[in-house]
């Protein structure tokens, strides 16, 4: 089985062809980083216009240097939400048009499902598994029990971790995207210089909270203003170190909750753009080793938004016989629980 996947939920226009043998046959992506840098964040209207300009080009590029033609594809999958509604409409409408004109099944994919199933594409892991999903818009623990069966066992009660990284980077005057710039700067800093709070530390459950941490970072920066280069590096390192401690504590609780329901499952996966952070990766390795879990983290290019994850989710859905009608609407918000 071969599925074409289209992803346009935020600021990447991406497409890929993936087969049911876990192979990415072809992929293409256009990043909008350059056009959003001067705004220090994604501007939805500009993002949508860029998707309109590049969506067809990216899809054509996927078929450019391979023998596979559109007639050989078994289904067309596209992100239908959650995300920026303008961008979602571009990819979703394009996918429907291709499916309708070629008489292929159309599949609407939840963006979070794409991330959640990527470890199965890369490492062929079995259900159920515990997933830490950390990105610009989401921070949650999921019990992944099937292609369309998820239980949220922990979530952020305020900011997503990726958002906390980006806002801290902006506070320090770093470029966009802020998370990767902050990670680079943190290498040069003293992680022990500042002792920032760990919200929800010691509390039951495995929810996240990052707003208090952000506030403490801002107050520290204001007291030291104007910041020297070393001040910025030390704040970045201390912030990232605190994040790692928060993840250690919350993930330890999540593993307890997951293991009580799934005592025979010992797989921990991570996905989403923030999962490619090396310091966070190291903490995940430590916890996995301590708890006797196997850790699976896809390569960085498959942690961030991409077409392959949507194509693979489409394959998982088709193997269950799932397809959707053309009247399926784009959704700015779309919960994983109760997913159909």
Question: Is 324 contained in some domain?
Answer: no
The predicted structure's pLDDT at residue 23: 98
Given a cut of 70, whether residue 338 has pLDDT beyond it is no
Residues 208 and 158 in one domain: yes
% of the chain beyond a pLDDT of 70: 99
Whether residues 37 and 87 share a domain: the answer is yes
In a domain, 174, yes or no: yes
Q: Are residues 186 and 286 in the same domain?
A: yes
Instruction: Determine the average pLDDT of the residues in 305-321.
Output: 97
- Residue 244 forms part of a structural domain: yes
Extract the runs of DSSP E, i.e. beta strands, from 82-224. 106-110, 129-134, 139-146, 149-155
CA distances (Å), origin 289, targets 37, 66, 266, 270 = 39, 41, 11, 15
The pLDDT-based confidence of 121 (bands split at 50, 70, 90) is: very high
* Whether pLDDT at 118 is above 90: yes
265 and 314 in a single domain? The answer is: no
Q: Are 55 and 167 within one domain?
A: no
User: Tell me, what CATH number does 240's domain have?
Assistant: 3.30.420.40
pLDDT for 125-139, tens place per residue? Answer: 999 999 999 988 889
Which structural domain range is residue 30 located in? Answer: 2-116+302-319
Question: Does 240 share its domain with 162?
Answer: yes
DSSP line for 139-161: EEEEEEEETTEEEEEEEBSS--H
Do 294 and 157 share a structural domain? yes
**pLDDT for residue 151:** 95
Strand segments (E) across 217-282: 267-271
> What tens digit of pLDDT does each residue of 62-111 get?
999 899 999 999 999 999 999 999 999 999 999 999 999 999 999 999 99
Q: Compute the average pLDDT of residues 43-57.
A: 94
pLDDT at 177: 79
Q: Are 133 and 90 members of one domain? A: no
Residue 50: its pLDDT value, please? 94
Q: Which of 123, 142, 124 is nearest to 132 (CA)?
A: 142
- SS3 (DSSP) at 120: helix
Same domain, 84 and 171: no
Report yes or no on 98 lying in a domain. yes
pLDDT at 92: 98
- List the Cα angle 242/247/251 in 5-degree steps: 155
- Domain shared by 146 and 88, yes or no: no
What number is the average pLDDT over the span 238-248? 97
Question: Which residue, chain included where needed, has tokens 């921070």?
Answer: 139
Mean pLDDT, range 13-37, rounded to an integer: 94
Q: What is the mean pLDDT of the segment spanning 151-159?
A: 95
- 145 and 250 in a single domain? The answer is yes
Tell me how far CA of residue 218 lies from CA of 169, 184, 230, in angstroms: 11, 19, 16
Mean residue pLDDT of the chain comes to: 95
Q: Is residue 155 part of a domain?
A: yes
The percent of residues above 90 in pLDDT, for the chain, comes to 90
Q: Tell me, yes or no, whether 336 lies in a domain.
A: no
Q: Between 54 and 337, whose confidence is greater? A: 54
Number of domains in the chain: 2
What is the mean predicted confidence (pLDDT) over 252-257?
Answer: 97
Confidence of residue 37 (pLDDT cuts 50, 70, 90): confident
Closest CA relative to residue 130, chosen from 242, 21, 240, 252: 252
Domain annotation covers residue 200: yes
Distances (CA, A) of 217 to 179, 186, 237: 15, 14, 11
pLDDT at 22 over 70: yes
Q: Rounded to an integer, what distance in angstroms lies between the CA atom of residue 295 and that of residue 287?
A: 9
What would the mean pLDDT of 222-233 be, rounded to a whole number?
Answer: 97
* pLDDT for the residue numbered 41: 80
Residue 334 covered by a domain: no
Confidence at residue 340, expressed as pLDDT on a 0 to 100 scale:
58
40 has a pLDDT exceeding 90:
no
pLDDT at site 36 = 85
How many residues make up the chain in this entry?
A: 340
Are 247 and 272 in the same domain?
yes
């Amino acid at each position: 089985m071969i599925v074409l996947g289209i992803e346009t939920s935020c600021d990447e226009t991406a497409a890929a062809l993936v087969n049911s043998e876990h192979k990415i046959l072809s992929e293409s992506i256009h990043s909008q980083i350059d056009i959003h840098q001067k705004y220090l964040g994604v501007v939805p209207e500009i993002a949508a216009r860029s998707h309109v300009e590049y969506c067809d080009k990216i899809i054509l590029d996927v078929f450019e240097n391979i023998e596979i033609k559109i007639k050989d594809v078994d289904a067309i999958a596209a992100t239908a939400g959650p995300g920026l509604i303008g961008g979602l409409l571009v990819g979703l409408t394009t996918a429907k048009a291709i499916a309708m004109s070629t008489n292929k099944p159309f599949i609407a994919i939840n963006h979070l499902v794409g991330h959640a199933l990527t470890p199965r594409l890369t490492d062929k892991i079995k259900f159920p598994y515990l997933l830490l999903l950390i990105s610009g818009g989401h921070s949650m623990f999921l019990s992944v029990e099937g292609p369309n069966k998820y239980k949220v066992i922990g979530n952020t009660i305020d900011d997503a971790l990726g958002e906390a990284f980006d806002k801290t980077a902006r506070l320090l005057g770093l470029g966009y995207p802020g998370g990767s710039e902050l990670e680079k700067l943190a290498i040069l800093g003293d992680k022990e210089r500042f002792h920032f709070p760990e919200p929800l530390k010691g509390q039951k459950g495995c929810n996240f909270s990052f707003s208090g941490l952000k506030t403490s970072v801002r107050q520290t920066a204001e007291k030291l203003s104007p910041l020297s280069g070393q001040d910025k590096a030390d704040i970045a390192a201390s912030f990232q170190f605190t994040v790692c401690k928060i993840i250690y504590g919350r993930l330890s609780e999540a593993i307890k909750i997951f293991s009580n329901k799934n005592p025979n499952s010992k797989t921990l996966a991570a996905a989403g753009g923030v999962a490619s952070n090396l310091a966070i990766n190291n903490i995940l390795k430590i916890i996995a080793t301590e708890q006797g879990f196997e850790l699976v983290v896809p390569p960085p290019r498959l942690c961030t938004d991409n077409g392959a994850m949507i194509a693979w989710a489409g394959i998982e859905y088709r193997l269950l016989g799932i397809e959707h009608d053309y009247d399926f609407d784009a959704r700015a918000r779309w919960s994983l629980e109760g997913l159909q």
